[in-house]
Amino acid sequence: MGGSNGHVSLAVSESYPLLKFIVQDCTAQISLWQKQLPEEFAGKVTYQYHDFFTAQKTKADVYFLRYIIHNWADIDAIEIIRCLTPVLKSGKRLVIMEYLGPQGKDMGEFEERTYR
């Protein structure tokens, strides 16, 4: 979710070629990315429009949020996760990959941008 052009899914797919990926994002670029997908990823990586503030309808074994939650206020982050609840059944996983670091007020603006 929020997978942009799928560069992370493509990289993981190279190491784990038996896995299948659905890259979701809420941009008009989805169809362009699908057309530009290298042939070796055909059938392994697909693209799908999805706004993560709406209920998730796509069923998967793992939902992966990479560097998404930190961009949102707590109430919005909770809503993003809450929208996954319709599909998070027993055995399904939610993986959240974020960075942990000092808060912006603990450092200068330049240092914060460099850190990120």
Coil, helix or strand for 107? coil
Active site residues: 70
Q: Which two tokens stand for residue 30?
A: 């989805």
DSSP 24-78: EESSTTHHHHHHT--GGGTTTEEEEE--TTS------SEEEEES-GGGS-HHHHH
Q: Do 34 and 9 contact (CB within 8 A), yes or no?
A: no
**109 φ, ψ (degrees, to nearest 5):** -60, -45
From the centroid of its chain, how far is CA 83? 14
